[in-house]
Structure 1
Amino acid sequence: MDVMALKQEVIEYSRSIGIDKIGFASADPFVELKERLRRQQELGYQSGFEEPDIEKRTNPSLLLPEAKSIIAIALAYPSKMKNAPRGTKTERRGVFCRASWGKDYHDVLRERLQQLEEFLLAKVPHARVRSMVDTGELADRAVAERAGIGWSGKNCSIITPEFGSYVYLGEMITNIPFPPDEPVENRCGTCTKCIDACPTGALVQGGQLNAQRCLSFLTQTKGFLADEFREKIGNRLYGCDTCQQVCPENKGKDFHLHPEFEPDPEAVKPKLIPLLQMSNREFKETFGAMAGSWRGKKPIQRNAILALAHYKDQTAVPHLLRLLKEDSRPVIRGTAAWALGKIGDPSAKPYLEAARQTEADADVIAEIEKGLKLLAEAKE
């Protein structure tokens, strides 16, 4: 088998099916990454969404026996939206991060990888392959870096020379020994703009992230958001783009190469108050195709309440009072109670006091107390 010729055929085929960048890496264990992941685990910096087994994350042979190489792919996504709707004082809006615009990228990349698998198996029937997107075991940024897709930036994103960090990543392990590509030069230099701009200080240092403080992770949690982060979340409903937006390598980078990734402006910048009233079915119909819907309705609605508090939106008060009184979910009742205090409308006080008498959940009672304290402070 002429693997050099096959590699070139794979590259050409990948372009024909809309893969924007492809690279090839050895399937050797990721030794340095293993130590970094162990350190992250010791420090409690992991999100909990990752594969917990560090061996599986760093040793491709555990995922595919006889693994010889890994094919890494990248698809670019847009950074700017056409006809973006603007919020007003009477109709505030939230925002989904750019990586959640359009169709769920997991589905799109899996389709491309499936096509690539079929092409490869047609050429080499005895080949073995295993593909994954970022919910798989392998650390896809480490694979992409080794395969020359881009360098690992201080913001912990892969930054490509062509598309900046606005790329989705996927990979395929195979027993075909493709010649590896060279990694690209790291161009971050002395720049620390992402570290300086991180709203919560989650970027501990260049290339090290405390996921427990990262707004992108926090917007996806299902419980009460810690008090220190409620001010920081702003109007983010899912994800955070700050460390990408300030990156000089992303300046002027905006690619509209895939119709699947084009955002529905009303879905990615939705009105906040209607979001509070959505049924599960309405939520699925509106947001179900987006990556940002994977955790369900509750985190998005909790974040919408925090966004209304951020704006101190007086028009939200009756809607928050309804949630406080009627919603079956403690996180929603409690966050609504806190938000009523943050907005500072004194008319909410008797309702909060009444809710304190009837509420059975200790966490919600604590949030009602916070709301009443905020109202008292606003009055002073």
Structure 2
Amino acid sequence: MNVTQLQAQLIEYAQSIGVDKIGFTTAAPFHELKNRLRRQQQLGFQSGFEESDIELRTEPLRLLDEAESIIAIALAYPSRMENAPQGKKGERRGIFCRASWGIDYHTAVRERLQLIEAWLIEHVPNVKTKSMVDTGELVDRAVAERAGIGWVGKNCSIITPEFGSYVYLGEVMTNIPFAPTTPIEDDCGDCNLCIDVCPTGAIVAPGQLNSQRCIAFLTQTKGFLPDEFRAKIGNRLYGCDTCQTVCPKNKGKLNWIHDEFTPDPEIAKPLLRPLLTISNKEFKAKFGHVSGSWRGKKPIQRNAILALAHFKEESAMPDLIDLLQKDDRPVIRGTAAWTIGKIGAANAEKVLMKALEVEKDEEVLAEIQKGLALLQ
């Protein structure tokens, strides 16, 4: 079988295992990307979650020395939830971003990549492969763009004509010289909606993101959330979809394709108060299968506390007082203190003054003072 026939059969096979889009590119270095990443590093715009070695991120041959081509795949995920529960006074809810609905996409994409690798091994003697999704060295979006999956929008997401930007990406490097797919032309035009509405101004220029200001990144951090972002987080527990929901290219893209990504409304939009007292075991049982749980419960709890401040939810005061007085984690105690001040219930000052007398941690003491200042 020649490479052209093999490629046609692989495309057919990929569709049969639930791959929504497949493209091919060479294993040539990503020169332009290398310059962009260096610039990001110099500006301090990186999140710190990505591979730090820029050479590894931009030179496929360093990862698979005989690589000839890269197979890029995309799986579409839903943009809307059916029967989404509505939060109300006394029963406020938080929200996980769409990329954390249903099963962890790392698992779903990796399964497809492994099937593709197994298929190649079966059909080609001495084939070499290496696959990755999100946490690998290569930049998924750069590979997807060059392989014709979509173009990189001004919001830094890959935008596909078929599914908008609601796609998960992954890739397989191989020593088979597949014919490259023609890249798709940028179709953002004059639209700047994503830049204009970003809550924190994280999209500093078309296609350039300051990760340190991005809410999707901030919700995953474990320390105190910087003051300037606390009011901007709203009721987001994990991730942020604002730059996607406003994108005209996402209009009407429901993507109800894969059952595994259908969200459980009680997990995707959970009640906030139960999150404040959830045990590690309960958290793992309820949220362990979604990608938004990867940092553990602490960031989610901190964000839930801030969401209660956003709603000024007085019914949560007993829980917040309990956290302030008894939780052994300074970030949780301090965030609770700030939130108590923000809610401003009748007993807030008394509670915070009492905490001021017994608290030993410097950062928590500073948060108590901020809470008291909010009451003025």
**What TM bracket, shorter-length normalisation?**
over 0.9
Q: Distance in 1 between matches of 2:365 and 2:195?
A: 37
Q: Distance in 1 between matches of 2:197 and 2:86?
A: 24
Asked if structure 2 preserves the Cα contact closer than 8 Å seen for 1:83 and 1:265, the reply is yes
Kindly provide the amino acid, as one letter, of the partner of residue 229 in structure 1: F
Per the TM alignment, residue 357 of structure 1 is displaced from its structure 2 partner at its CA by 1.2
Kindly provide the amino acid, as one letter, of the partner of residue 247 in structure 1: C
1:224 to 2:235 alignment: no
What residue in structure 2 maps to residue 5 of structure 1?
A: 5
What residue in structure 2 maps to residue 311 of structure 1?
A: 311
What residue in structure 2 maps to residue 69 of structure 1?
A: 69
TM-score calculated relative to the size of structure 1? 0.98
What residue in structure 2 maps to residue 163 of structure 1?
A: 163
Give deviations 1:256-294, integer Å, cap 9, x for gaps: 111110000000100000110100001011100000000
Kindly provide the amino acid, as one letter, of the partner of residue 296 in structure 1: G
For residue 346 of structure 1, give the secondary structure of its aligned residue in structure 2.
coil
In the TM superposition, what are the counterparts of 1:94-243 in structure 2 within 5 Å? Answer: 94-243=94-243
The sequence identity of aligned pairs, in percent, is 68
Q: Distance in 2 between matches of 1:344 and 1:355?
A: 15
Q: Distance in 2 between matches of 1:153 and 1:373?
A: 42
Kindly provide the amino acid, as one letter, of the partner of residue 312 in structure 2: K
Q: Distance in 2 between matches of 1:187 and 1:35?
A: 23
Q: Distance in 2 between matches of 1:199 and 1:208?
A: 15
For residue 70 of structure 1, give the secondary structure of its aligned residue in structure 2.
strand
Kindly provide the amino acid, as one letter, of the partner of residue 341 in structure 2: G
Asked if structure 2 preserves the Cα contact closer than 8 Å seen for 1:194 and 1:247, the reply is yes
Give deviations 1:31-59, integer Å, cap 9, x for gaps: 00000000000000000000000000000
Q: Distance in 2 between matches of 1:334 and 1:271?
A: 22
For residue 9 of structure 2, give the secondary structure of its aligned residue in structure 1.
helix
1:350 to 2:313 alignment: no
Kindly provide the amino acid, as one letter, of the partner of residue 271 in structure 1: L
For residue 23 of structure 1, give the secondary structure of its aligned residue in structure 2.
strand
Kindly provide the amino acid, as one letter, of the partner of residue 298 in structure 1: K
Per the TM alignment, residue 125 of structure 1 is displaced from its structure 2 partner at its CA by 2.5
Unaligned 5+ segments in structure 2 are none
For residue 15 of structure 1, give the secondary structure of its aligned residue in structure 2.
helix
Q: Distance in 2 between matches of 1:210 and 1:323?
A: 33
Q: Distance in 2 between matches of 1:314 and 1:257?
A: 40
Kindly provide the amino acid, as one letter, of the partner of residue 208 in structure 2: Q
Q: Distance in 2 between matches of 1:350 and 1:198?
A: 38
For residue 24 of structure 1, give the secondary structure of its aligned residue in structure 2.
strand
Q: Distance in 2 between matches of 1:184 and 1:166?
A: 17
For residue 70 of structure 2, give the secondary structure of its aligned residue in structure 1.
strand
What residue in structure 2 maps to residue 321 of structure 1?
A: 321
Aligned residues: 376
What residue in structure 2 maps to residue 270 of structure 1?
A: 270
What residue in structure 2 maps to residue 247 of structure 1?
A: 247
1:32 to 2:32 alignment: yes
Per the TM alignment, residue 356 of structure 1 is displaced from its structure 2 partner at its CA by 0.9
Q: Distance in 1 between matches of 2:198 and 2:314?
A: 29
Kindly provide the amino acid, as one letter, of the partner of residue 276 in structure 1: L
Asked if structure 2 preserves the Cα contact closer than 8 Å seen for 1:321 and 1:348, the reply is no
Q: Distance in 1 between matches of 2:338 and 2:178?
A: 57
Q: Distance in 1 between matches of 2:129 and 2:11?
A: 16
Unaligned 5+ segments in structure 1 are none
Provide the aligned C-alpha RMSD in A: 0.6
Kindly provide the amino acid, as one letter, of the partner of residue 170 in structure 1: G
Q: Distance in 1 between matches of 2:357 and 2:176?
A: 68
Q: Distance in 2 between matches of 1:358 and 1:267?
A: 36
Per the TM alignment, residue 346 of structure 1 is displaced from its structure 2 partner at its CA by 2.9
Give deviations 1:287-317, integer Å, cap 9, x for gaps: 0000000000000000000000000001011
For residue 116 of structure 1, give the secondary structure of its aligned residue in structure 2.
helix
For residue 57 of structure 1, give the secondary structure of its aligned residue in structure 2.
helix
Asked if structure 2 preserves the Cα contact closer than 8 Å seen for 1:346 and 1:375, the reply is no
Per the TM alignment, residue 86 of structure 1 is displaced from its structure 2 partner at its CA by 0.4
Q: Distance in 1 between matches of 2:125 and 2:309?
A: 59
Asked if structure 2 preserves the Cα contact closer than 8 Å seen for 1:345 and 1:375, the reply is no
Per the TM alignment, residue 185 of structure 1 is displaced from its structure 2 partner at its CA by 1.2
Kindly provide the amino acid, as one letter, of the partner of residue 31 in structure 2: V
Q: Distance in 2 between matches of 1:285 and 1:201?
A: 36
Kindly provide the amino acid, as one letter, of the partner of residue 278 in structure 2: M
Give deviations 1:118-154, integer Å, cap 9, x for gaps: 0011000201000000110000000000000000000
Q: Distance in 1 between matches of 2:304 and 2:223?
A: 14
Q: Distance in 2 between matches of 1:316 and 1:351?
A: 14
TM-score calculated relative to the size of structure 2? 0.99
Per the TM alignment, residue 200 of structure 1 is displaced from its structure 2 partner at its CA by 0.2
Q: Distance in 2 between matches of 1:183 and 1:69?
A: 15
What residue in structure 2 maps to residue 371 of structure 1?
A: 371
What residue in structure 2 maps to residue 53 of structure 1?
A: 53
Give deviations 1:161-186, integer Å, cap 9, x for gaps: 00000000000000101010000011
What residue in structure 1 maps to residue 295 of structure 2?
A: 295
Q: Distance in 1 between matches of 2:319 and 2:374?
A: 19
Kindly provide the amino acid, as one letter, of the partner of residue 71 in structure 2: I
